[in-house]
Homo-oligomer: A and B are copies of this chain.
Amino acid sequence: MEDEGTTGTKVIIVGGVAGGASCAARLRRLDEQAEIIMVERGPYVSFANCGLPYHVGGVIEHETDLLVADEATFRNKFAIDVRTRCEAMSISPDTKTVELKDLKTGKVTNESYDKLLLSPGAPSLRPPIPGIDLPGIFKLRTVPDARHIREWIEHGTPLLTGMDHYSGYQTRRPPTRAVVVGGGFIGIEIVENLVRRGFDVTLVEMLDQVLAPLDIENARLVEAKLKEHGVHVALDDGVAEFKQLDGELEVTTQSGKSYPADLVILAMGVRPDTTLANSAGLKVGERGGIRVDEHMRTSDPDIFAVGDAVEVRDYVTGEWSLVAMANPANRQGRIAADVIAGRDSTYRGTQGTSIISLFDTTIAWTGVNEKTLQRLGDTDYEKLYIYPNSHAGYYPGAKPIAMKVIFRKSDGRLLGVQALGEDNVDKRISTLAMALQLGATIHDLEDAELCYAPPFGSAKDPVNFAGMVAGNILRGDMPVAHWDSVNGAFILDVRDPLELVVEQMPDAVNIPLDELRERLDELPRDREILVTCRSGQRAYYGSRILLQHGFNARVISGGLLSRAILSEEFAEVPIGTVQGAVHND
């Protein structure tokens, strides 16, 4: 038995998906007496918007699967007054009222509140490009959006209608060519799902890379994967115009290229919905999101905001940022409920942990990327590239994971990781996300005792391996170099002769590691020697020999594998199985 909460408080929640729904459910549990009204302008509350691309692709078969919790659940289990197709039009903070419009009847009412939560989300960007409203051009943000795309794909439309020459009947041609505009999360996920449905897909991206949170060398790996699966990737190019020509769409870009299409998906990013916040005179940040404190409170103490519409603190850099992700939205909703109920919960910021599935590959990351550190002028960091196996190399099915690890030079703190591979990438990034959250140093990664049996990992897990290599760097045992600054250097390649046949390295001097101790007199003592091999492991062994014999040596992090990433022909150099990660510390 207890006695707490805001007995009788009237709370209006605007937006009934991730953040709003979490807040409503949590608030009811904390306060059985509160009056809770949850309004949602769309037809559904608490739907799985992260599942939409997979519903388009047919992986999630039924639309009803996307409806995680329905109105009845909120009404019957949580005693919440749910109003769908109801839009909050404006807020009057002085009178503490919200103007609500019933979208079914058009009726407008004023509802008073004691506390107000805004979870309006971030609608898709839809710039005023000529032709953007043509039939066959869709966004993908809601369940009805997904339904419209599926209907277009399954039934075709008049646009795709022709005359059957034999029968004389009108036929509808199934759409086969798609253009996806925007290479962010939704863009990449919808590309995959359209390929899954047999489409010939072109991805048009305005930036010079897909998945902007990745550093460019890792984005290159993603782009290579896309191309490997037949996707046409057009970077550095924006859409200038959409046209309808002879029963098909044509997408013309700013560089003058044009792509025919039967279907266009706009995935050009999202922008926080601050309409309501503006109507209330709430503070909006420089990034364009509603500004909240660590308790999710806006500049008006009785108004809270959560989810894609708010700016959050980056957990690593402390900068304000926009993160449209489900986990933070849910967490923020819960915290806002706590605070509304009189508790002292705080949001610790967002570290940007993300993951995306792309055909047989998974790409994931957590923490800060290198380009952000460069933008901030932060030079107190080092990076490394490794390619450990996903599990013991001697157990079938091991696949290399390409990892980039960024850590602080001065104290070894883990700052960020990006990884790509075909097996068990999610485990490593979740483990490292937990480490980063808890302020781990790379030495903690060396010490980590993770799940190991041959089907699952290695006695030295990729997480350990990352720590060991980083530790070697920080302790001064392994000075490193990177391919972006090796021009003109003396490069020593310690691979075996057989490997040179497969992949040549013309600018380098080759001395196999096995012979290095005997052939030291072939190496210069007056120049720095950059050592390389396939993945960087034997290069490290070689560098240890050189350093202890008085040479000036550094290891090129990631070896030829990381050079492949940076080169123009990266797509042609598959990351094959690299040698086992045993004794590689």
Footprint of B on A, CB under 8 Å?
A: 1-2, 5, 18, 21-22, 25-26, 28-33, 46, 48, 50-51, 54, 59-60, 65-66, 68-69, 76-79, 189, 315, 325-331, 334, 348, 350-357, 362, 364, 366, 392-396, 424, 426-427, 429-435, 437-440, 444, 446-457, 459-461, 463-464, 468, 476-477, 513-514, 517, 538, 540-541, 544-545, 547-552, 580, 582-583, 585
Contact = CB atoms under 8 A, between A and B. Distances in A.
Contacts of A392: 48, 50-51
A79 B542 CA distance: 12
A583 B431 contact: no
Given A50-B453, A60-B394, A79-B517, 15 more contacts: A18-B459, A32-B548, A48-B454, A327-B450, A330-B459, A353-B451, A357-B453, A426-B427, A426-B451, A426-B456, A427-B431, A434-B434, A434-B440, A438-B439, A438-B440
A29 B513 CA distance: 13
B434 A76 contact: no
Given A51-B392, A395-B60, A327 B77 contact: no
Contacts of A78: 541
Contact of A51 (B454, B514, B540): B454
B356 A77 contact: no
A77 B427 CA distance: 32
A79 B549 CA distance: 15
B454 A433 contact: no
Nearest to A349: B449
B452 A327 contact: yes
Contacts of A435: 434, 438
Given A394-B68, A459-B330, A548 B33 contact: yes
Copies in the complex: 2
Contacts of A431: 427, 430-431, 433-434
Given A456-B426, A544-B29, A550-B1, A353 B449 contact: yes
B450 A353 contact: yes
Contact of A325 (B77, B395, B426, B452): B452
Contacts of A351: 449
B25 A65 contact: no
Top 8 A-B pairs, shortest CB-CB distance: A32-B548, A326-B459, A427-B427, A355-B451, A438-B438, A25-B583, A76-B514, A430-B450
Given A21-B583, A77-B538, A541-B29, A394 B451 contact: no
A315 to B, nearest CB: 8
A325 B552 CA distance: 39
Given A21-B583, A392-B48, A452-B326, A1 B551 contact: yes
A358 B189 CA distance: 33
Nearest to A394: B65
Contacts of A450: 327, 353, 430, 433-434
A29 B546 CA distance: 10
A496 B246 CA distance: 57
Given A29-B477, A33-B548, A394-B51, A582 B46 contact: yes
